[in-house]
Amino acid sequence: MLHQILPLLTFFPLAALLLLWLIPARQTGLLKGAALLLALLEFSLSVPLFTTFDVATAGQYQFVVQADWLPRLGISFHMGVDGISLLLVLLSTLLLPIIVLASFHVEKALKGYLMLFFLMTTGLVGVFASLDLILFYVFWELVLIPMYFLIGIWGGTRRIYAAVKFFLYTMAGSVLMLVAILVIHWNTLVPGLGRTFDLPLLLEHFHPAAGTQLWLFAAFAVAFAIKVPMFPLHTWLPDAHVEAPTGGSVILAGVLLKMGTYGFLRFALPFFPSAVQALMPLLVGLAVVGVVFGALVSIVQKDMKKLVAYSSVSHLGFVMLGLFSLQTIGVSGAVLQMINHGLSTGALFLAVGVIYERRHTRLIADFGGLAAGMPLYAFVLVFFVLSSVGLPGLNGFVGEFMILLGSFQSQPGPTAIAATGVVLGAVYLLWMVQRVLFGPLANPKNQGLPDLSRRELLVFAPLIVLVIWIGVQPQPLLDRINPAVEATLELMRNR
């Protein structure tokens, strides 16, 4: 079965979606149980990807499946994962049962709400496993649909504005990427095969001039930069996060943003190495501005969710800085930080959602002294804040340290400026903790709030375990990441 595991992981959520559709909406207990069981099954099916992955050949694609799809157009169903995409697939399947369990409180059209997350999982797994550019593009666009409806139907008061803005931004970037994909296709002839959209073959046979590389890189870079999002293309993100339901914010921060960083590493950097070198000062500069700008704007936020949203701009700026270091340790740290950010920031959005369900407000000024009556909640919030600020022994420290170490080797000046983002991150997150959890319990509406339930503890438990495990023993992940990163950088050098 392992040789078909990627198609199974990609399309099982669609089968699960159809099963959920058959359950009457009024039978909410059956619907919740079935959704959780199917989500857990999807994750369990993905575990062999990690346990049977051959670390010795982590730089090569494994679990490869290839079949003709539209052969006359050069399009094939080609899937596979290396040490980079492997972890992103696992992150996608891990967050699905966590989001389902965290969504049991949803009352408005629960069945449709849950079905959209299964549809999104199909798109996400497809994005990270695709080795054909058209197949990748199909899954890339598929992800937009469920996210648009999650924001537009289950979002806050400005949900329509946020949903349309999200869709227009990402769609505009996608069109540019499609044009670049078609240009690559029409300018590549593979001996004995003709024109193709196959990623490994295109990387072997597509060798454009430096000037052409600049234009094509710009098209890919805009699409990926919007998704990251990089400064100044970030403005859709706070609106989307603030208006999205809790589950939507978790999957958006946890995985969707990583589609952009993954796209840079998988496509933009190896396809256009000359353009990357020529534009390196601009790319590094935008990454550094994103780190500092996101942190400074987070400090002045009054809304907990908006604060966490802007923190993503800062944290993903660190990831981009690591990618543009073009050093193995920096790029590997960036890949690891993609996973770390998905766990830690996803958990922070869950924590904000918990308190919003109880008080129907996210304004920091409406809280204070919650630790006295909600000690379990206080522990969870402080734990994931420390994870996000990079406390040694937790996951965030490993990724940030590797990024800074790699970036200092190639870009010492900009990296020194970006390092201030670590300090600023501690400022805005710990200041939020102080105002929300500590001090006098002055607001009577906060008195008697129930602490975390057993269901909510189960939501956070796997994330806590993974944060500690990666912080203490990141080597199993790095054993898979490092060879794939080295292979990508070697490919860039050869091209």
- DSSP calls for 167-201: HHHHHHHHHHHHHHHHHHHHT--BTTTBS--BHHH
Ranges under pLDDT 50 in the chain: none
What digits encode the pLDDT tens for the residues 363-387?
998 898 899 889 999 999 999 999 9
Domain ranges of the chain: 299-495
Return the residue matching tokens 């970006």.
418
The amino acid present at 429, given as its one-letter code, is L
Contact assessment for residue 287 and residue 406, using Cβ atoms and an 8 Å cutoff: no
The amino acid present at 292, given as its one-letter code, is V
Residues in contact with 145: Cβ distance below 8 Å, sequence separation at least 6, in sequence order: 119, 123
Residue 492 CA: distances (Å) to CA of 91, 209, 275, 280, 479: 27, 15, 11, 14, 21
Give the model's pLDDT for residue 72: 86
Measured CA to CA, the distance from residue 370 to residue 368 in angstroms comes to 6
Cα-flanking dihedrals φ and ψ of residue 68, to 5°? -65, 140
Structure tokens at 358: 């109880």
Give the model's pLDDT for residue 266: 94
Measured CA to CA, the distance from residue 259 to residue 127 in angstroms comes to 8
The residue among 297, 336, 303, 343 whose CA lies nearest residue 319 is: 336
The residue among 100, 1, 99 whose CA lies nearest residue 45 is: 1
Measured CA to CA, the distance from residue 115 to residue 96 in angstroms comes to 11
User: Coil, strand or helix: which one is 125?
Assistant: helix
Give the model's pLDDT for residue 433: 94
What digits encode the pLDDT tens for the residues 263-297?
999 999 999 999 999 999 999 999 999 999 999 99
Give the model's pLDDT for residue 415: 92
Measured CA to CA, the distance from residue 310 to residue 253 in angstroms comes to 11
Residues in contact with 484: Cβ distance below 8 Å, sequence separation at least 6, in sequence order: 58, 59, 82, 83, 84
DSSP string computed for 422-474 = HHHHHHHHHHHHHHHHSS----GGGTT-----HHHHHHHHHHHHHHHHHHH--
